């Protein structure tokens, strides 16, 4: 008895045609576009997209917004992500600033952070792979380390008055340092 071939897996629900040309104005036919598959299970794409009251043909639809966020997380470069989805940077920034687009703005910021971390990882990998004796690799790794995330702090700089010191002090004692200073001043007056 012949076996039935296994059914092909269904593609993710969101497909979108995106421009694959380096220069967007060259995209004049269907051949210039490819289907972009947007994964269903990406938690980064779990945001409420902005919905236009009266969408036009060139409006940035929810599917385009999701594709843009996906591309931004992949590349970390707004210009590249905008070109990939076929929208102008100006239109995307205008959409970002609209009153009802707070969740799109949050997803944008998060995707930018993911993209930044991805670029940083690629730079570190390339610098390490090129070896410790290559001056260009050393320069790249020094640049990446110098410009790491704003939340990475040199412990030698964490002293009383630093936000991190104050936060740790509050976790341990339950009081902020300025509250303690006020209490000490009150007790000294008595």
Which pLDDT value is given to residue 11?
A: 44
The answer to whether residues 30 and 52 touch, using CB atoms and an 8 Å cutoff, is no
Backbone angles phi, psi at 87, to 5 degrees: -125, 155
Backbone angles phi, psi at 21, to 5 degrees: -85, 145
The total number of residues written for the chain in this structure: 190
What residue ranges in the chain does DSSP mark as E strands? 14-19, 33-38
Each of the 190 residues of the chain gets a pLDDT tens digit; together they read 556 655 554 444 445 566 666 666 555 454 555 666 677 777 788 888 888 888 787 788 888 889 899 989 988 889 989 988 888 899 999 999 999 999 999 999 999 988 888 887 887 777 777 766 676 666 766 776 666 665 667 777 788 888 888 888 888 998 888 776 666 666 777 6
Q: Whole-model pTM?
A: 0.58
The answer to whether residues 69 and 112 touch, using CB atoms and an 8 Å cutoff, is no
What would the two tokens of residue 101 be?
């687009």
Q: How far is CA 8 from CA 2, 11, 45, in A?
A: 18, 9, 25
Which pLDDT value is given to residue 6?
A: 54
State the residue for tokens 């043909």: 57
In whole angstroms, give the CA distance from residue 109 to residue 115. 10
């Amino acid at each position: 008895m012949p076996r039935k071939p296994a059914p092909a897996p269904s593609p993710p629900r969101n497909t979108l045609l995106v421009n694959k040309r380096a220069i967007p104005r060259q995209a004049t036919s269907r051949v210039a576009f490819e289907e972009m598959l947007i994964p269903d299970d990406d938690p980064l794409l779990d945001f409420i997209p902005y919905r236009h009251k009266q969408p036009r043909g060139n409006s940035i639809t929810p599917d385009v917004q999701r594709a843009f966020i996906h591309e931004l997380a992949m590349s970390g470069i707004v210009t590249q992500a905008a070109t990939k989805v076929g929208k102008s940077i100006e239109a995307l920034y205008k959409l970002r600033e609209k009153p009802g687009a707070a969740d799109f703005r949050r997803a944008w910021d998060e995707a930018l952070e993911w993209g930044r971390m991805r670029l940083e990882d690629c730079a570190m990998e390339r610098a390490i792979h090129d070896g410790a004796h290559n001056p260009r690799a050393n320069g790249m790794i020094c640049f990446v380390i110098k410009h790491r995330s704003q939340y990475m702090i040199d412990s030698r700089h964490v002293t009383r008055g630093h936000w991190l010191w104050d936060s740790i002090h509050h976790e341990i004692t339950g009081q902020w340092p300025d509250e303690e200073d006020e209490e000490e001043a009150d007790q000294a007056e008595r």
